[in-house]
């Protein structure tokens, strides 16, 4: 017989909360019920059911890809290995867009992945016309699915950043790939799509394409907001200033790291 307590000890090399949630799922109990009775015996068939999932976690498969979902901005998103798992720090971009977008304005989310930013923005600000683009057709399929199940009216396009479109925007928002090709952190991110993560030798290739393109397609006083790596704020600020944007500044995430840099198009 294996009790809840014993099983959680056996899996103590893995994140506790993930093990508790998995156990709850196979035993059809809430996490609170699991925690309340640590001496409850786990039925043999439940142990058997858990085994392959535990092996996947030990092999480095992210929990969100195993369960097929991740919460972002209080909404439940479907995620597969075709999309980046939305990160909590990206909620800062949503917060800023919700605050800065003019009533009835238009917004484009560049590199939408699961659709997290676009859908979260639309859920808070239904007055906005939201468009989302991605180069990956497989990612767009997931984003469309999420928009449909979360009832968000969003226009999706498969394209590279703003290429091939001459629309003009009040808000251009992006969480682009920003990791350098040889960054050692990539080893821990093997399961996520490379297209969503890597941007050239210094991690700034995508941002270097987005800033000049966006600054030619913004309404007067429109905003460009870009998420970036913990050490990239200065470079992104410089790229925005060179592109002629005004009010260039960065905002910190909850960990106190400059995570988003934004600027305004002041007109010609």
Ligand X SMILES: C[S@@+](CC[C@H](N)C(=O)[O-])C[C@H]1O[C@@H](n2cnc3c(N)ncnc32)[C@H](O)[C@@H]1O
Choose the stretch contacting ligand X; rule: CB under 6 A; options: 9-17, 28-36, 107-115, 251-259: 107-115
The residue from 62, 86, 203, 229 that contacts ligand X (CB under 6 A) is 86
Residue 157 as a binder of ligand X (CB under 6 A): the answer is: no
Decide whether 125 or 228 has the Cβ nearer to ligand X: 228
Applying CB under 6 A, the site for ligand X has a residue count of: 23
Please name which of 142, 88, 153, 92 lies closest in space to residue 112, comparing C-alpha atoms.
Answer: 142
Q: How far is the CB of 183 from ligand X (least distance, A)?
A: 14
175 close to 161: Cβ distance less than 8 angstroms: no
Which of 23, 54, 119, 196 contacts ligand X by CB under 6 A?
Answer: 196
Question: How many angstroms separate the CA atoms of 127 and 197, rounded?
Answer: 31
- Residue linked to tokens 């991690």: 203
Q: Is 136 in the site for ligand X (CB under 6 A)?
A: yes
Q: Which residues pair with 158 in a beta bridge?
A: 134
CB 114 to ligand X: min, Å: 6
CB under 6 A: which stretch of 42-50, 60-68, 123-131, 133-141 binds ligand X? 133-141
CB distance 131 to 154 below 8 Å: yes
Q: Does residue 160 touch ligand X according to CB under 6 A?
A: yes
Q: Angle, to 10 degrees, between the axis of helix 137-149 and the axis of helix 116-124? A: 30
Give the SS3 label for residue 72: strand
Residue 175 in contact with ligand X, rule: CB under 6 A: yes
Applying CB under 6 A, does 203 fall inside the site for ligand X? no
Rounded-to-integer distance, Cα 247 and Cα 139, Å: 33
How far apart CA 19 and CA 57 sit, in angstroms, is 10
| The residue to which tokens 């991110």 are assigned | 189
**Residue 112 found at the interface with ligand X (CB under 6 A):** yes
Q: Which of 20, 134, 170, 253 binds ligand X (CB under 6 A)?
A: 134
The interface with ligand X within residues 113-132 (CB under 6 A) comprises 113-114, 116-117
Judged by CB under 6 A, the residue of 19, 107, 120, 139 near ligand X is 139
Contacts of 88 (CB under 8 A, 6+ apart): 72, 254
Is position 90 an interface residue for ligand X (rule: CB under 6 A)? Answer: yes
161 binds ligand X (CB under 6 A): yes
The C-alpha atoms of residue 80 and residue 66 are separated, in whole angstroms, by 8
Residue 197 Cβ vs ligand X, minimum distance, rounded to whole Å: 7
Nearest 5°: the CA angle 205, 173, 211 is: 40
Residues at the contact surface with ligand X, assessed by CB under 6 A: 84, 86, 90, 110-114, 116-117, 133-136, 139, 160-161, 175-177, 195-196, 206
């Amino acid at each position: 017989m294996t009790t809840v307590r014993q099983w959680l000890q056996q899996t103590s090399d893995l994140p506790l909360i993930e093990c508790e949630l998995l156990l709850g799922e196979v035993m059809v109990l809430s996490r609170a019920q699991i925690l309340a009775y640590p001496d409850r015996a786990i039925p043999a068939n439940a142990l058997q059911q858990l085994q392959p999932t535990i092996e996947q976690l030990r092999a480095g498969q992210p929990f969100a890809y195993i369960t097929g979902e991740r919460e972002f901005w209080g909404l439940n998103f479907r995620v597969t290995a075709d999309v980046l798992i939305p990160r909590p720090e990206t909620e800062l971009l949503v917060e800023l867009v919700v605050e800065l977008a003019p009533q009835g304005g238009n917004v484009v989310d560049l590199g939408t992945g699961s659709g997290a930013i676009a859908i979260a923005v639309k859920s808070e600000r239904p007055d906005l016309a939201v468009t989302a683009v991605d180069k990956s057709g497989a990612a767009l399929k997931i984003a469309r699915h999420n928009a449909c199940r979360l009832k968000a009216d969003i226009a999706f396009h498969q394209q590279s950043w703003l290429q091939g479109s001459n629309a003009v925007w009040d808000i251009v928002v992006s969480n682009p790939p920003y990791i350098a090709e040889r960054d050692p952190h990539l080893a821990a991110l093997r399961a996520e799509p490379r297209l969503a993560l890597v941007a050239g030798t210094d991690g700034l290739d995508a941002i270097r394409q987005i800033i000049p393109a966006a600054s030619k397609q913004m309404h007067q006083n429109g905003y460009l907001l870009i998420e970036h790596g913990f050490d990239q704020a200065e470079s992104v600020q410089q790229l925005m200033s060179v592109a002629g944007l005004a009010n260039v500044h960065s905002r910190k995430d909850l960990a106190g790291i400059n995570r988003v840099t934004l600027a305004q198009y002041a007109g010609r």
